[in-house]
Structure 1
């Protein structure tokens, strides 16, 4: 998220002042070692046709989720593909219950088995998530950003709320501050504060399609944050800019090789209108043993991520739209 949002600050501030400020901000962002534990021989290589395209792995961990009883797991997994001319990006969500092969962890104590994809985070941290996603997709990951949803509320509140069009009325099964531990959402456009946006983005039990609805809502909220962060009301207010970035740096970690200032300059023209959101193709849900899992459509998944690897934007959008419509 910060990789996409930080460039907006350069629009509202002078290049020199903005650059100095971003260096200060960059120094406050936590860094993680995402790649050194992964054997290079096991990693996919970049396709020459992709040129300067960049692949980000965006991870979200909902440590305050009342349903998260199995230790640290990555509840949100998104590949963000920035095309080679850096004019647009495609964000592809991988459902957290996707059943797939997880390589052996660096300590040799876990993995080398099939499981839900988000188990990789508990078994080997970010490096094993990267290796698992690269194995699943065949796409080489260039950078990683991790957001803790415990700080998600503060990011939205720093922006003064976000505008969301709720697709259907529902009552959440858990709530940060709703009446009786629940919160009701009416269908239609509305402005949500941080607590409401988090309740909206985490809910899945109220919908027939469960985690797929949750993914759609997370994508809505990401877009809404980008829209609000790039709005004139935010960019014209130094207090809002500062509050937003302070909240973001308290919540986001990135890999050690990511230069935020350089990336900000590269992405300074990117806006939510240049982003398309998709979900990795699946055949729906099923049971493996006593676990409810998402069953990947291996043929369509391979075709979609082969297009990502080649930076074939037209094919990504065609296959992604077909998957979304189903």
Structure 2
């Protein structure tokens, strides 16, 4: 999220050209449906009945038929309810109402879709892409930028992405695996026709600086051999409104620290309730931790988990007013590819909870100096096994033997332990 030089083995950013401006994308249309109604079924009357004797105190007699204008006409008996028919009609009504509610929810999500900013990064990739191997599984690239980060001192429009996460959802749609890519990971950046830079090894975040989202996608696909189905560019500064819409989140602070940014907030070790400004401030800190940038990645993962926890536990997903505010805040903070559908995501993955998320870090051997720069060196063998599992939808098998044990809700999870070499 921040962009100044990192301590403890994490380097700063080089002077590079501005990222490519996003292209305008098509907006989704809001569609609805109407349901025809059936004519009412005519009532059925019985045959004429003979006069009946009156009962009760005072002697017998014959009760005369009722006059016109009463509840029954002469010669007509009282209508008995057809309970079977009533139950059938009521059941059909419930089904219709449920279908209309579903159509309404889908139409609402389509409406939210239309408010998303869109780009088309895939159309600008010119050097070929990996094949889609596992049907039903989804791979998404989450890119985090922060226009409001105090450390982002570049010129207007000169954004950096210091948060890169590969999100894998298996075909079973019951889990999600989030693999953080260190911004200083030393990788090959391909040549792109849209920029004079590339065709060299450099830090991963240089791909975004040199060629925007398209070159970043191209670089990560080339490195992992995993095809991305969608790309989401997230302005983490916009997550202030997301967190505030939830009424704040709970995060487990690792240690007593003082923020390096005004107003120099003091964070106390242990579980804390944080508003949007406080949560983003804490997630930006790295100098106070021995593992620098890796601590920041850990806290960003922790923040995302806490947001999902709060959205579910506070009833946001089941309260229309709260959900509306929450989704509006999210859409303002995201730019997505032209084919991404929030409606489809919401319907397919509505049962996912934070306990279903596994947070990881792309395997590496720590930091070292290459050509005078501090970079993170990939562990090619371990990374290859991880991305093969992601490509073939075998992440559950890989995680069973390689993933860290899950942390308690809202706490910091170690993910893949990093070794920082001086």
Question: Above 0.5 in TM-score?
Answer: yes
In structure 2, relative to structure 1, the CA distance for the partners of 1:25 and 1:103 (3 Å cut) is same
Q: 1:60 aligns with which of 141, 144, 158?
A: 144
**Any conservation in 2 of the 1:28–1:249 contact (CA below 8 Å)?**
yes
Which one scores higher on RCO, CA 8 angstroms, separation ≥ 6?
Answer: 1
Q: How does 1:51-200 map to 2 (within 5 A)?
A: 51-69=135-153, 71-175=158-262, 178=263, 182-200=264-282
Kindly indicate which of the two structures has a greater share of residues assigned to helix.
Answer: 1
Residue 108 of structure 1, CA deviation: 4.1
Residue 236 of structure 1, CA deviation: 4.5
Equivalent-residue separation in structure 2 for 1:292 and 1:255 (angstroms): 33
Q: How does 1:290-301 map to 2 (within 5 A)?
A: 290-301=372-383
**Any conservation in 1 of the 2:198–2:210 contact (CA below 8 Å)?**
yes
Query: What SS does the corresponding residue of 2:404 show, helix, strand or coil?
Result: helix
**Any conservation in 2 of the 1:156–1:162 contact (CA below 8 Å)?**
yes
**Any conservation in 1 of the 2:125–2:192 contact (CA below 8 Å)?**
no
**Any conservation in 2 of the 1:93–1:280 contact (CA below 8 Å)?**
yes
**Any conservation in 2 of the 1:105–1:123 contact (CA below 8 Å)?**
no
1:226-275 C-alpha deviation (Å, 9 max, x unpaired): 11112243235433222211111111111101122122211121121111
1:51-73 C-alpha deviation (Å, 9 max, x unpaired): 31110101100222233345322
Q: TM-score, normalised by structure 1?
A: 0.89
Residue 317 of structure 1, CA deviation: 4.5
1:107-159 C-alpha deviation (Å, 9 max, x unpaired): 24111111110111111111111001101111110111111122121111111
Query: 2:366 corresponds to which residue?
Result: 284
Stretch moving more, 119-128 or 63-72: 63-72
Residue 80 of structure 1, CA deviation: 0.5
**Any conservation in 2 of the 1:308–1:316 contact (CA below 8 Å)?**
no
Q: 2:404 aligns with which of 309, 318, 321?
A: 321
Kindly indicate which of the two structures has a greater share of residues assigned to strand.
Answer: 1
In structure 2, relative to structure 1, the CA distance for the partners of 1:237 and 1:267 (3 Å cut) is closer
**Any conservation in 2 of the 1:307–1:315 contact (CA below 8 Å)?**
yes
Segments of structure 1 that go 5 or more residues without pairing to the other structure are 1-12
**Any conservation in 1 of the 2:112–2:342 contact (CA below 8 Å)?**
no
Equivalent-residue separation in structure 2 for 1:66 and 1:291 (angstroms): 24
Segments of structure 2 that go 5 or more residues without pairing to the other structure are 1-99, 406-414
1:271 aligns with 2:357: no
1:54-100 C-alpha deviation (Å, 9 max, x unpaired): 10101100222233345322110000000111111100000111111
Q: TM-score, normalised by structure 2?
A: 0.69
Equivalent-residue separation in structure 2 for 1:317 and 1:173 (angstroms): 39
**Any conservation in 1 of the 2:138–2:170 contact (CA below 8 Å)?**
yes
